[in-house]
Structure 1
Amino acid sequence: MQRLWLKITGSYLILSITFILVLWFFISSIIQNTYTDMTKEHLIENAQLVSEVITLGGLDEDRETLDEWTSHFDEEITLRYTIIAKDGTVIADTESDIETMDNHLNRPEIDAVLVRNQEIGESVRLSDTHDMSMMYIAIPFKADGEIIGAVRTSVSTKSIDNAISAIWTTLSAILFIILLVSVISAALLSYNITKPINRVINVTKRLQNKDYSARINSDYSGEIGNLNTSVNALAASLQSHVNEIEESEKQLNSILSNLVSGVVLIDDKGKVALTNQATERFLSKHTSKIYQREYNYVFGPLGIDHLIETVIEDNVSRHDEAHLYFPEERILDVHIAPYYSQGWQQRGAIIVLHDITDIRRLEKMRSEFVANVSHELKTPITSVKGFAETLLSGDVPDEATAKQFLQIIYDDSERLNRLITDLLELSKIEKQAMPLEITKVDMKTVIKNSTRTISKFAHDKNITLHLPEDSSPVYVEADKDRLGQIVLNLVANAVNYTSDNGHIYIDVEERSSKVVLNVRDTGMGIPEESLDRLFERFYRVDKARSRHSGGTGLGLAIVKHLVESHEGEIYVKSTEGVGSTFTVELPKTQE
């Protein structure tokens, strides 16, 4: 803004100087011409006056008197008077000795009046007598109507120049004062103009630096006031829009950050312009290794870079699945679509990544579950059907064999009943169709009551059950029947997989906020590769032995769901040939 102030002041200064110079030359020319004309008129008047005196006084005939009379002019006036006879002889002069003066007939002003008979002769030239520039005016004087001589008046041009110089000095001083006043006025005017503009610029700079609270607080009238009002309105509107944009950006960032699906925006240069945390998690790469990187580098390991290229070049959508194997195996559902800007101009592509690993695993589990259920049902059904057909055909040789067949049919039907009962039970638990009846129960009492059912089977295998001591009760908030079902299934599983003469240890530990149940056996143990799948439905470590023992393969799955319904957790530790330990942690209180 200082430059604008200087420009305005400088421009006004140049304009003022130009105007004053033109005015100065114009006025000085007029004054010089006017003063010269006035001097000329003054010389003419004095010449005419002297001419009349000479004519009226008859001094033309009495040259001595004329010379004496003219000798007194030098004391009173600054003009030089010269009387010249018709033949050019100087008969009187106020400043020089006429004896030393030559004939003046050849002088321009004398030649004009005496030779060419003009009324006035004038010239400005160098004086031969005084060796200086002089202005000469000559007029004739007459006697009886005839020209008898000429009167010449003259003055030094130096006096004219001095007078004009004095006038120029005064004029210059006046014009300088005018120029000074003009410049000061221009400076004040430009300052008053640029000061409010400077405030506007300061506000706009603050707005440029994202300080949207900047406002102009000065009151001005006219156009400056309207400008201030417009800038303030613009700043308020800009602040409102920026707040809306920031709020929208926060919402977008919040949405993108909390999306379980990965979102990636590819710009028209083929670089990643936007991503979210889910994408980082899927690709196991930090944002710095994704943002502003070529899509070939980012998505090359997924094998979808050719799909992105197709979307960008052909302006079509694409869908596919991609597999990742590091750091863990993942299956991603990939949707790629063109990205458009205003005017439907294609600017790149949008990629959406869905993690469908769990879905595929569940689909696999469902497929396996159907296969397992079919297999589990088919075996007893085939057995029942086969023995029933044998009995119906009458090919049974004796009653003992028939009774044996009927016993097999009964046992398989019991197995079918247990399988269907467990499936229904598991289905109800998963659907939460059986709400828990939470009460305060003694864990040791539940263990004692539940193990009575399984004690006969343990006794038949000569397995010793070691129950918790009855020293003090351990209370927990739980569904008594479901808690007993957890204990029963864990102990029954231990009995089934523990060899004869083995031991099963059941103990309860009370902690600050939870109760821990441990069921440890000395059975055959579980291979390490089977521990992660142990709680899956129909999964068996030793399928032949489990099926022979009458197990359905659903007991541990039921236990896991019942524990989780109580907001608890279940763990298993096992060593092959040594035994297994199942640990159940339940909170003391249910919220």
Structure 2
Amino acid sequence: MKGIRFFQSIQAKLIIVYVLLILIAMQLIGVYFYKTVETYFKNDFLASRNSQVTLLAGFVGSYLTGDQDSKNAAEGKKTYADLNEFVSNLFSINNAEIQIIDANGNVISTSVPNHLKQKNTQPEVIRALQGIKDNQRIFTDEDGYRKVIIAKPVGSGARVLGAVYLIASMEDVYKTIRSINRILISGTLIALGLTAILGVILTSTITNPIKEITKQATAVAEGNFDQQVIIQGTDEIGQLGHTFNFMMNRLREALSLNEEEKEKLASILTNMNDGVIATDDKGHVIVLNRRAKQILQAEEETTIGLDISKVLGIPNETIQGLLQGEVRTTLLDIELPDDDEQFSVRITFTPIHRRGEGQSGIIAVLQDVTDQEKLEQARREFVANVSHELRTPLTTIKSYLEALDDGAIEEPQLASRFISVTRSETERMIRLVTDLLHLSRLDSKQSMMSKSTTLVSEMLEEVADRFSFQLQQRKIEIVIRVEKGVTGLLLDRDKIDQVLDNLVSNAIKYTGDEGAIRLEARKIEKDMLEISVQDNGIGIPKKDLTRIFDRFYRVDKARSRNMGGTGLGLSIAREIVKAHGGTINLESELGQGTRVVFTLPIQQEEEDEL
């Protein structure tokens, strides 16, 4: 694998390119040199042999004139024997055969005795005997040796006396050429080796910085920005390394800034009071913050990837309609699985648009508006209750006044009863308005508190005294118990008396004849005092306990109204206790009785404004 990886590297490619360039250059030079040397040696060989043949043809002309007999020999003329000696001694050529041929084509002298007096029928000889001067041919014999044949006519003028025939081997020439070629190949191989070595050295100066940059780029891709590329020169690669370091620093700054922004966004999403859900272009949930999980009672692992319509329980057509409309808000009621209550969530849908790609996702913002809805509902109920509470006595007063105006005033007994009812309803409206004014002052912090030290036991006994007539009339027993050590307490006596009067009055109203009421005071902590009012009356249903302190809320509306209650007593009591820095709670079981407990701090400032 490393070998394959090496051949796929730039260094290997550069080395191969250098080697191929040198190889091609050497091949071109070698071919040219080889052809030039071959042509030179071959032409030189042929020219030398042609010169020898031409020279021989000039010398043997005198031997071919006249008859070659004994008479000529006796007279001292040149004979064929002299010609053989001349050819053998003066024109002996290595790897060559020379033949002197007469006009009839017969070999009269040769350097190879076996061919003497044989007839030579070579085409070159025939052409030479015909007077054609240039007759040569190169061929390869049966043994694979290259040879040359040269034939020259002997004679002067138009008369041809014979021919000189030469057949010579060219193997020495080609052997020399092959030696030169081997030298050239050896030089080429040495040059290629040196080129490869130099290529490795040269490419290392190029590829090593590239490898270093690649290594640093890999480290950057893995998140490591601590190292820098070493700059080893001012050339293009050095400039590339410098640019890479600059880019890495800018990238580190950009990623750091991006991480900071991402952490800020994650922190904002996590700590938002509103839930946020983001989807991709297909409507699948990709982001879900903590508040959204709390609102939807969902886990991130099971929610991510789901369609937003399934997560919210809203049809996809409705969501698309909201996204395309001007009003993109809807109200969703969610029921808790482990609770009978439900809470309201306002969902606002906003499309995410990407330039050139249209809608790329949806952002849904979930706002828990349960308290707002409850407050709005309480406001509506409050207005309705006030209207109802005022309308009933006003209607009664109007009816009786109309009756008096119609003549009932002339009947003293009837007129007296009508006036008594009218006075009673008027007092009822006054109590209602007074309670509303009291609550308004408490809510607006306008009710001043005047605190003084009060004995708790004395305060409870005075409450019992104020209701003694009603208690005796209904034969209800009241028991007061103050824990040892509970003495004085700094509080607004009038307001706490109002709380106790309201609680004891309610206990008397909803306790049957011969019942029992218990007043207790005890320390629950070193700085808190607990006062409780407990009866054994009819009790309160469980479903009404959570709203018992709401304004105008009555468990039994008809009975409460007949008993003269306005429905504001417990609300006023809660506000007074809160103004003192305490809490108030109610425990009750239907048919078993009710216990109201409120706490007060033992140490307080003497003056405190609500």
TM range (shorter): 0.7 to 0.9
Q: CA deviation at 1:49?
A: 6.0
Mapping for residues 181-220 of structure 1, pairs under 5 Å: 181-209=194-222, 211=224, 215-220=228-233
Contact 1:91–1:98, Cα closer than 8 Å, also in 2: no
Per the normalisation by structure 1, the TM-score is: 0.80
- SS state at 2:597 partner: strand
- SS state at 1:395 partner: helix
Q: Distance in 1 between matches of 2:276 and 2:369?
A: 15
Q: Does 1:553 align with 2:564?
A: no
Q: CA deviation at 1:348?
A: 5.0
Match of 1:506 in 2: 520
Q: Describe the superposition over 1:364-388 as per-residue Cα deviations: whole angstroms up to 9, x where unpaired.
A: 2222212222333344555666777
1:445 aligned partner, one-letter code: L
Match of 2:268 in 1: 255
**Residue of structure 2 aligned with 1:458, choices 465, 468, 474:** 468
RMSD between superposed Cα atoms in Å: 4.4
Match of 2:98 in 1: 82
Q: CA deviation at 1:409?
A: 6.0
Identical positions, percent: 27
Q: CA deviation at 1:535?
A: 0.4
Match of 1:584 in 2: 598
**Residue of structure 2 aligned with 1:310, choices 297, 300, 321:** 321
Match of 2:333 in 1: 323
Q: Describe the superposition over 1:105-163 as per-residue Cα deviations: whole angstroms up to 9, x where unpaired.
A: x4455555553252x543334789x9965334455677999876655665422222222
Q: Distance in 2 between matches of 1:289 and 1:65?
A: 123
Match of 2:136 in 1: 122
Q: Does 1:522 align with 2:550?
A: no
Match of 2:69 in 1: none
Q: Distance in 2 between matches of 1:43 and 1:526?
A: 145
2:27 aligned partner, one-letter code: L
Match of 2:171 in 1: 158
Mapping for residues 208-287 of structure 1, pairs under 5 Å: 208-209=221-222, 211=224, 215-287=228-300
**Residue of structure 2 aligned with 1:298, choices 287, 295, 311:** 311
Match of 1:368 in 2: 381
In structure 2, the CA distance between the partners of 1:195 and 1:131, relative to structure 1 (3 Å rule), is closer
Match of 1:61 in 2: 78
- SS state at 2:187 partner: helix
Q: Distance in 1 between matches of 2:240 and 2:272?
A: 47
Q: Distance in 1 between matches of 2:488 and 2:21?
A: 104
Structure 2 residues not aligned, in runs of 5+: 65-75, 606-610
**Residue of structure 1 aligned with 2:183, choices 156, 165, 170:** 170
Q: CA deviation at 1:66?
A: 4.7
Match of 1:423 in 2: 436
Match of 1:40 in 2: 46
Q: Describe the superposition over 1:272-304 as per-residue Cα deviations: whole angstroms up to 9, x where unpaired.
A: 34443444344333334443223443344x4x5
**Residue of structure 2 aligned with 1:541, choices 555, 558, 563:** 555
- Which shows bigger deviation, 513-522 or 168-177? 513-522
Q: Distance in 2 between matches of 1:476 and 1:166?
A: 130
Q: Describe the superposition over 1:255-287 as per-residue Cα deviations: whole angstroms up to 9, x where unpaired.
A: 333334444445443433444344434433333
Contact 1:451–1:491, Cα closer than 8 Å, also in 2: no
Contact 1:317–1:338, Cα closer than 8 Å, also in 2: no
Structure 1 residues not aligned, in runs of 5+: none
Q: Distance in 2 between matches of 1:359 and 1:127?
A: 119
Contact 1:271–1:295, Cα closer than 8 Å, also in 2: yes
In structure 2, the CA distance between the partners of 1:162 and 1:549, relative to structure 1 (3 Å rule), is same
Contact 2:455–2:488, Cα closer than 8 Å, also in 1: no
In structure 2, the CA distance between the partners of 1:85 and 1:280, relative to structure 1 (3 Å rule), is closer
2:9 aligned partner, one-letter code: L
Per the normalisation by structure 2, the TM-score is: 0.78
Q: CA deviation at 1:557?
A: 1.0
Q: Distance in 1 between matches of 2:326 and 2:401?
A: 63
Q: Distance in 2 between matches of 1:52 and 1:298?
A: 120
Q: Distance in 1 between matches of 2:154 and 2:42?
A: 24
Q: Distance in 2 between matches of 1:121 and 1:397?
A: 178
Q: Distance in 2 between matches of 1:517 and 1:265?
A: 52
Q: CA deviation at 1:411?
A: 5.5
Contact 2:42–2:173, Cα closer than 8 Å, also in 1: yes
- SS state at 1:308 partner: helix
Match of 2:14 in 1: 8
2:455 aligned partner, one-letter code: T
- Which shows bigger deviation, 11-20 or 533-542? 11-20
Match of 2:68 in 1: none
Aligned residues: 579
1:287 aligned partner, one-letter code: E
Q: Distance in 1 between matches of 2:398 and 2:157?
A: 184
2:569 aligned partner, one-letter code: G
Q: Distance in 1 between matches of 2:257 and 2:560?
A: 66
1:200 aligned partner, one-letter code: I
Q: Describe the superposition over 1:541-572 as per-residue Cα deviations: whole angstroms up to 9, x where unpaired.
A: 34455445544322211222344455543322
Q: Describe the superposition over 1:47-69 as per-residue Cα deviations: whole angstroms up to 9, x where unpaired.
A: 56666777899999255455445
Match of 2:34 in 1: 28
Q: Describe the superposition over 1:435-472 as per-residue Cα deviations: whole angstroms up to 9, x where unpaired.
A: 778x8x87x83463365255221354135544443632
Match of 2:458 in 1: 448
Q: CA deviation at 1:399?
A: 9.3
Q: CA deviation at 1:534?
A: 0.9
- Which shows bigger deviation, 419-428 or 240-249? 240-249
Contact 1:498–1:524, Cα closer than 8 Å, also in 2: yes
Q: CA deviation at 1:488?
A: 4.8
- SS state at 1:461 partner: helix
Q: CA deviation at 1:574?
A: 1.4
In structure 2, the CA distance between the partners of 1:115 and 1:523, relative to structure 1 (3 Å rule), is same
In structure 2, the CA distance between the partners of 1:343 and 1:33, relative to structure 1 (3 Å rule), is closer
Q: Distance in 2 between matches of 1:228 and 1:478?
A: 81
Contact 2:107–2:116, Cα closer than 8 Å, also in 1: no
Contact 2:131–2:160, Cα closer than 8 Å, also in 1: no
1:97 aligned partner, one-letter code: P
Q: Distance in 2 between matches of 1:65 and 1:197?
A: 85
Q: CA deviation at 1:233?
A: 3.5
- Which shows bigger deviation, 332-341 or 143-152? 143-152
